[in-house]
Each structure stands twice: as C-alpha cells, then as structure tokens.
Amino acid sequence: MSRYDEDARIERFRHAVARISMEDLAEHRVVDGTTQVGRQRLLTARDRILATASNADGAPIVAGIAASVLHGNKWFDPDFTIELLHPISGSSKHGEGRTTRRYMVAESDYIEIEG
C-alpha cells in the first residue's frame, strides 16, 4: 500500500467518525486553520478577520488595517494582511495572509469589540 493510499484511508476514516460525507466535505473550504465555510459563501473582510483571530493560539489582539475594518472602515485593499499582536509570553502561530508580532499592550490601549 502506498503512502497516498494510507493517507486517503485515514482521511476517509476521520470523515466517517465525524459523520461527514466526502460530498459534504467537498462543499466546504477551510479558512485559516479549522473554520469551515460553504464554498458558495462569499466571505466578508470581517468574517476573514474573525476566523483568523479565533484560530490563533493565545489571546491575540487584531491590529493595523484589520482593526480599522472591525471598527467600520469601508476603504481597504481586498488582499490586506491580518496583523495579530500577542503578549510576549503568548504563542505566535503564523499563517499565510497574516503577520504576528509580540508586544506588551496595556489594557487601556485596546478595545474589545466582540468576545
């Protein structure tokens, strides 16, 4: 049995355990980690930011252009980079389309929009 066959078998087993058919899985796409979204759905910038922040380890703070989008900015480049700030002791899982920086951010310097 080749490595590919073994990987395919394991993948089919995972879907069977999760009770998700391969057809259902084909109708979804994964956005930045584990968030699954229907292929027909057009993601807004806000959806993309929230998916990225929710899949980041630790307690990240959204910064830069992404923060301005969350505050209601309507004018931004559609392929902007999502910038996340982590405390110095926090983890910094980095992915394509986002930048992770380590900063000490005082509680008075950020606003919580959504929990």
In the chain, where the domains are located: 3-38, 45-109
Phi, psi angle pair for 114, to nearest 5°: -130, 140
Tens of pLDDT, residues 42-100? 778 888 888 888 777 777 788 889 889 988 888 888 888 888 887 665 555 555 556 66
Spell out the SS3 assignment of 6-54: HHHHHHHHHHHHCCCCHHHHHCEEEECCCEEEECCCCCCHHHHHHHHHH
Residue 19 has pLDDT above 80, yes or no: no
